[in-house]
Amino acid sequence: MSTKTETPVKKKNQKKIQCFWSWVIGSVILRLIIIYFPKNLNLSSRPEVSTPLTSIRRLAEGYWLKQSSMSPYAGSMYHGSPLLLTLLGPLTVKRIEGQPDHLLCSLVFVIADVVTAMLICAAGKKLQAAYSSSLQSIGLHHLSEDSDILPSGDFAALLYLWNPFTIVACVGLSTSAIENLMVVVTLYGACARLAPLAAFGWVMATHLSLYPAILIIPVILLFGYGPDAPPRKLFRQRTNLEVDDSASGDRSCLEDELVNEKRMLNVFSWRPVVLFLFWALLWSSYVLVLCGIYVQQHSGLQEMFKSTYGFILTIQDLSPNIGVFWYFFAEVFDFFRSFFLIVFHGNILLMILPLALRLNHRPCFLAFVYIVLSSMLKSYPSVGDSALYLGLLGLFAYELKDMQFSFFLFSGYVGVSLLSPVMHNLWIWRGTGNANFYFATAIGYACLQIILVVESVSAMLNHDRMITKLTTAKLQNVKS
Amino acid sequence: MVENDSVTEKKPRIRPIVRLGFFLISHSNYVSLLCFLSGIVALLLLPILANNTYISENALMPGSANSMLSTQHVSHANKFINDLTHSDIESHKTVAQYMSALDAEVTYHKFYPQLNQFHPLHFFTSSDSGIISKNISCSSLGINVAGIIRAPRGDGKEAIVLVTPYNPKKVGPGEALSLGIAYSVFSLLSRVTWLAKDVIWLVADSQYGEYSAVSAWLREYQAPVFHEAEIVNSETCNDSIAISELGQNPYSDRNSYGGFRRAGTMAAALVIKVDEQGNHHEDSLNIYPEASNGQMPNLDLINIVNYLGVHKTGFRIKVKKMFSLLGSRWLNTLGGIFESLGQIARSLNPQWKFGISATEYVEGAATLASSMYSQGLGVPTGSHGAFRDYQVDAITLKISPKDSPTKMIRRNDFILRGGRLIEGVIRSINNLLEKFHQSFFLYLLSSSSKYVSVGVYMIPFALLVAPLPIVAASLHADASKSTLQSTYSSEVEVSHKSWKWLNSARKVLVIHLWGAVVSLLPYFLYQIPNSTPTTNFTVWGILSAFSLIILYFILGSPIFEAAPSQPEKGEWASLKSVTISTAFIGLSLMSVINFATAEIGALLIVPICLMARPLKLDAQARSWRALLRATCNLALGFIAFPPVAYFLVKGAFEDFNGTNVGDYWNWVESLWTWNSATYLYVGIVHLPCWALCIHILFHPC
């Protein structure tokens, strides 16, 4: 490691950080500007932005029902969490003279976005530090320098903040900003090994939108094995070699590294996992108690589960969205419905185990893959979900630098996101198109997500292969 | 994974479809030339590929019942026409009197003519209420009269609309005749028993333009607004005109009611007009179907009119065509070639019947060109366009009599024939069980009885734009290959070979932002009072150039430089590939919004996008081929410049008389007044792509 290369790297990082804050402020200003033109855009009624679960109008309706001492779930309008009602409900009612409606709500969402970005940034820094130290410990010093050049945490945070999908979801007053925040809290907590925080994030995210429940696997892996690292067998080879070496030579100089590797190799540390599970239990019972108090007067928790999780799982609302379920379940016969419900939801569960086995040394990336899969196969997807995984994609900028079809994916995302409102207009407003037009863009969108997940996973595996090749070459050099 | 490893070790086994993709990409030059030429040939073949129309909806049953319109109705109508043209009292009162004498419910609808507004995004936002400017005096108030016949068999949930625009200040003979035809049908319909849908007869006040009158009435019908300012305003005007007049009305006891009356949802609307000039060979009927943004009414509506006109009433049905093309020599030659080809094909196999005669081909091509041009402009061809914004199918029927309406001898006969046609159409629509949905919405007319459906006309467009992704992919592959080699030589540098395009994408994004800025500039220019089109255009051009320079400086500033990048060898290639992809996305998007614009735009922008190559490289090559390519590039770059392209298209489709840069401004103004998506296309897709192509031409590689 020469000092010559270190200084420009540092400089670059500092320069990047200076720009970073101005970019963050710029994104906030952009959001505020767009919030002041809500009438022309009318984003909160677009099917791409607000789903039955995340729409602020439904939330306001639920709050109104609650205020007039009815169950917030009466009339199948609201399907979110009661906690969101207490948090955002009063803000939907409050109007400031001369300001756009829902100004306070939008400010909450803007803050949620910024906090999410900060947490992504912090998690990225932790990941990067861990990754470069693990690269060094298997002796790939030049790679670890390379990985330092691109501050992937900052990059991912800016990607999240400036992603048009995030901006649209935030300005369109979709509560997915808060769901995303909770998911990112989980990941950050797990990366920083803060069991209470991670458990809180996981419980809240699951409570809000059910699908993040599958993130428990990556979180447990994160607590058990530590953050993303090259395949574990490389460490084993390396230690074997070094043990051989140290048996013959002096051991003092390698001691530090060895200790470090021992930590890496510590097969699976159960203690933080148990701690996490304990906290998860605690938080979930706490959330349940709070919800129970809130819906106490109206038929209790059972109704809440029925109209939140039940609504998600049985796909009762078939209004068009960017997913693929509504079209299918509008066509399917009633007596096949439950069968296909099981099949469609099984799709996500089917892929959990193989992916967990293959990517268990990279739990954060595994979480990313799970999030892409669930946002593709969830019953009411919106662009807010894509905003989350596209932001997280930035965390793996170094590992995925050789990803194929990146340009194709980019053009595809641009094309589909422009085509989708046009097709919707053609179908709903002009009447010259039909549901197939809109569904075609939904299929195109799903295909793009499939390509994204396939390509990113294969790029990651190629990266692993490259590392394996390099280390084995090095080991052979050392041996010979 | 084991399999994967073995694949990398052995020679990679490629699937056929991937191999086909590689083949296309590696021969992109030939493929794109082939696709482009075949796209143009397919476009020229469209008149031959046109199908005969047929009535798709069974329920319509046009012409199955005998016409009930008798000479008695016609003589009533004659009396009405005479009263209208010769009476002293205001004409809308006469109309109202006659309407209520037929037991129709009459309402007056007062409206203010709408000023031109700049709604660049109107296409995406749903129909909103117009903003009424406050300082309009009562004198500019327009009054529509609407009469409604309630159907004896209906439930009042559906309606058919008849519209007759007229100018109350000066009722022309043609307008009077069209009112007469509508009156004769209306008087018949007020007595028939078979009516299942309400009939609304809207007599639109066209002194400020018929479109604004009809759209004001429709807005009130479909989406009423409750502005306090408006109510106050109309009340002050009520004092002077409306209330006094309603009081005087002898028929006001039952059927006249001050508020706005509605019938059900509109099934269809017919706008009836009579041409003022005569001197035609025979009585003919012109159909104008195009609404805003190239939207067309359901083809079945045109089919009914065509069927009844040809088979029942003996009108000659016409669709607008381009007369300049009829005489053009190249088209006639082309028609001759196609005819002889068709004959050869028929001699080989009598089953093949794709040949049409040369004159038929030329006529079809002229009609098709006109249809495409008026769809592409995105400006409605008549007041029927207002209905399409509310998803109501509507057409304008313009009847051109043989003799001039003033000295018409057979006026009764003319009214009878016109009335029978309208009656037949209304009776057919009355049979309708649902909205029009069976037949096509997306088509081009090549004559009144021939159409080219979406499945056919998409082929030439797809062939035209197909080279774009192929060339983009090949350029992208080349660019990443070249950077691959360069980065492996110096291993220390971080290789982002797969993400190299990001730099070019940033440039393209900035240029497209510039395009958006340029298309928003007229909003501010429009505020300048007393400016001629020429000065406006000049200011617009200067401001656009200025904003481009500002953006260029922002682009060049170090903030935007993510990684210090010296101008690389393959930089123009990656820039071109991104440009081409955006052009492809933009054109595909536009083809969904307004096909005709996309088709014309593709003819203009695709060649330069495909050909663009730095002139410096061509100059260095110093071969005939390079020189030819450079000249071609310059010529194409000149042609694709939006104002030049406008004058070329206008010269090709309309008569070319005098070029004035102010014309371009006027054209642009008309586009945004009609909320045409073509305006957005020109500003956000065409202009930036052209600018990027020019940038590539003068690239310092």
- Least confident span in A434-448, B48-62, B307-321, B395-409: B395-409
Which pLDDT tens digit goes with each residue over A336-380? 999 999 998 888 888 899 999 998 889 999 999 999 999 988 899
Sheet bearing B450-453, strands edge to edge: B51-52, B450-453, B443-447
Q: From the centroid of its chain, how far is CA B140?
A: 30
**B 536-565 → A contacts, CB under 8 A:** 559
Residue B22 counted as domain residue: no
- Backbone phi, psi, residue B320, to 5°: -60, 135
Residue B275 counted as domain residue: yes
**Residues 6 or more apart in contact with residue A20 via CB below 8 angstroms:** A154, A157, A158
B278 and B327, same domain (yes or no): no
Which pLDDT tens digit goes with each residue over A119-138? 999 999 888 888 888 888 87
Residue A28 counted as domain residue: no
Residue A179 counted as domain residue: yes
Q: Is the pLDDT of residue A287 over 50?
A: yes
Terminal-residue alpha carbon distance, chain A: 24
The pLDDT assigned to A37 comes to 72
Which pLDDT tens digit goes with each residue over B159-181? 999 999 988 888 888 888 899 99
Chain A residues with CB under 8 Å of B497 CB are 401-402
Q: Would you call A419 and B581 a contact, using CB atoms and an 8 Å cutoff? A: no
Residue A242 counted as domain residue: yes
Q: Which of B491, B498, B581 sits opposite A411 (nearest CB)?
A: B581
Residue with tokens 């080279």: B467
Distance between CA A84 and CA A142 in Å, rounded? 48
Q: A110 pLDDT band (50/70/90 cuts)? A: very high
User: What is the count of structural domains for chain A?
Assistant: 1
Distance between CA B477 and CA B479 in Å, rounded? 5
Q: Which of A407, A411, A419 sits opposite B592 (nearest CB)?
A: A419
User: What is the count of structural domains for chain B?
Assistant: 3
CB B116 within 8 A of CB B666: no
- What mean pLDDT is predicted for residues B415-442? 89
Test the A interface: residue of B9, B22, B129, B593 with most A CBs within 10 Å: B593
Residue A98 counted as domain residue: yes
The pLDDT assigned to B485 comes to 53
Q: Would you call B585 and A411 a contact, using CB atoms and an 8 Å cutoff? A: yes
Q: What is the token pair recorded at A168?
A: 């649209």
The pLDDT assigned to A303 comes to 86
**Domain housing B173:** 63-112+139-225+254-320+381-433
Chain B residues with CB under 8 Å of A425 CB are 123-124
CATH of residue B77 = 3.40.630.10
Q: Would you call A419 and B589 a contact, using CB atoms and an 8 Å cutoff? A: yes
The pLDDT assigned to A39 comes to 63
What is the SS3 string spanning B564-625?
CCCCCCCHHHHHHHHHHHHHHHHHHHHHHHCHHHHHHHHHHHHHHHHHCCCHHHHHHHCCHH
Find the closest chain A residue to B582 by CA distance: A411
Q: What is the token pair recorded at A183?
A: 């998911």
Q: Which of B391, B559, B589 sits opposite A430 (nearest CB)?
A: B391
**B 287-346 → A contacts, CB under 8 A:** 295-296
Find the closest chain B residue to A425 by CA distance: B124
Which residue did the predictor score with more confidence, A15 or A127? A127
Q: A70 pLDDT band (50/70/90 cuts)? A: confident
Chain A contact residues (CB < 8 Å to B)? 19, 40-42, 142, 146, 149-150, 401-404, 406-408, 410-411, 414-415, 418-419, 421-423, 425-426, 429-432, 437, 461, 465
The pLDDT assigned to B498 comes to 63
Q: B280 pLDDT band (50/70/90 cuts)? A: low
Looking at B360, B380, B400, which one is the last position of a domain? B380
B277 and B367, same domain (yes or no): no
Q: Is the pLDDT of residue B464 over 50?
A: yes
Q: Is the pLDDT of residue B565 over 70?
A: no
The pLDDT assigned to A458 comes to 92
Which residue did the predictor score with more confidence, B10 or A292? A292
Q: Would you call A418 and B589 a contact, using CB atoms and an 8 Å cutoff? A: yes
What is the SS3 string spanning B476-533?
HHHHHHHHHHHHHHCCCCCCCHHHCHHHHHHHHHHHHHHHHHHHHHHHHHCCCCCCCH
- What mean pLDDT is predicted for residues B29-51? 91
B506 and B639, same domain (yes or no): yes
- What mean pLDDT is predicted for residues B507-513? 88
B399 and B534, same domain (yes or no): no
- Count helices and strands (H / E) in chain B: 27, 11
The pLDDT assigned to A16 comes to 57
B534 and B629, same domain (yes or no): yes
Distance between CA B300 and CA B303 in Å, rounded? 5
CB A401 within 8 A of CB A194: no
- Least confident span in A277-281, A429-433, B85-89, B323-327: B85-89
Which residue did the predictor score with more confidence, B122 or B665? B665
- What mean pLDDT is predicted for residues B376-404? 87
**Domain housing A347:** 41-311+319-479
Residue A7 counted as domain residue: no
Residue A378 counted as domain residue: yes
Helix (H) or strand (E) holding B165: strand B158-166
Test the B interface: residue of A361, A406, A411 with most B CBs within 10 Å: A411
Find the closest chain A residue to B292 by CA distance: A430
Residue B448 counted as domain residue: no
- Backbone phi, psi, residue B269, to 5°: -140, 140
The pLDDT assigned to B657 comes to 63
Distance between CA A453 and CA A40 in Å, rounded? 35
Closest CA to B612 of B508, B692, B531, B693: B693
The pLDDT assigned to B240 comes to 43
Residue B25 counted as domain residue: no
Q: Would you call B441 and A431 a contact, using CB atoms and an 8 Å cutoff? A: yes
Q: Is the pLDDT of residue A453 over 70?
A: yes
By CB atoms closer than 10 A (0-12, 13-18, 19+), residue B16 is exposed
Q: Is the pLDDT of residue A8 over 80?
A: no
B550 and B638, same domain (yes or no): yes
The pLDDT assigned to B246 comes to 44
Residue A70: strand, helix, or coil: coil
**Residues 6 or more apart in contact with residue A202 via CB below 8 angstroms:** A182, A186, A212, A215, A216, A219, A280
The pLDDT assigned to B283 comes to 82
The pLDDT assigned to B175 comes to 87
> How confident is the prediction for chain A on average, in pLDDT?
84
- Least confident span in B223-237, B268-282, B376-390: B223-237
Residue A2 counted as domain residue: no
Q: What is the token pair recorded at B65?
A: 């019942």
Q: Would you call A422 and B441 a contact, using CB atoms and an 8 Å cutoff? A: no
Find the closest chain B residue to A465 by CA distance: B5
Q: Which of B125, B492, B497 sits opposite A42 (nearest CB)?
A: B125
- Least confident span in A141-145, A429-433, B338-342, B424-428: A141-145
B396 and B499, same domain (yes or no): no
Residue A294 counted as domain residue: yes
Which pLDDT tens digit goes with each residue over A217-243? 999 999 988 888 888 777 777 777 666
Q: Is the pLDDT of residue A275 over 50?
A: yes
> What is the amino acid identity at position A344?
F
Q: What is the token pair recorded at A202?
A: 């996981």
B279 and B166, same domain (yes or no): yes
Rounded to 10 deg, the angle between the B624-640 and B687-697 helix axes is 150
Which residue did the predictor score with more confidence, B658 or B597? B597
Find the closest chain A residue to B120 by CA distance: A40
Which pLDDT tens digit goes with each residue over A307-343? 889 999 988 888 898 988 899 998 888 889 999 999 9
Q: Which of B121, B577, B585 sits opposite A40 (nearest CB)?
A: B121
Q: A262 pLDDT band (50/70/90 cuts)? A: low
> What is the amino acid identity at position B365?
A
B188 and B149, same domain (yes or no): yes
Residue B443: strand, helix, or coil: strand
CB pairs under 8 A between A and B: 72
Find the closest chain A residue to B442 by CA distance: A432
B413 and B283, same domain (yes or no): yes
B536 and B664, same domain (yes or no): yes
The pLDDT assigned to B4 comes to 44
Looking at B401, B433, B465, which one is the last position of a domain? B433
Q: Is the pLDDT of residue B218 over 70?
A: yes
Q: Please give the ipTM for the structure prediction.
A: 0.86
Closest CA to B124 of A40, A188, A357, A329: A40
- What mean pLDDT is predicted for residues A291-310? 86
Q: Which of A415, A423, A432 sits opposite B585 (nearest CB)?
A: A415
Which pLDDT tens digit goes with each residue over A128-181? 888 888 888 877 777 777 766 778 888 899 999 999 999 999 988 889 999 999
Distance between CA B423 and CA B401 in Å, rounded? 18
Q: What is the token pair recorded at A11?
A: 């400089």
Q: Which of A407, A418, A419 sits opposite B476 (nearest CB)?
A: A407
A164-167: long-range pairs with CB below 8 Å, 24+: A164/A417, A165/A383, A165/A384, A165/A386, A165/A387, A165/A390, A165/A417, A166/A113, A166/A384, A166/A387, A166/A391, A167/A27, A167/A30, A167/A31, A167/A34
CB B475 within 8 A of CB B483: no
Which residue did the predictor score with more confidence, B514 or B13? B514
Q: What is the token pair recorded at A235?
A: 């460490």
Closest CA to B671 of B447, B416, B379: B379
B373 and B423, same domain (yes or no): no
- What mean pLDDT is predicted for residues B58-87? 86
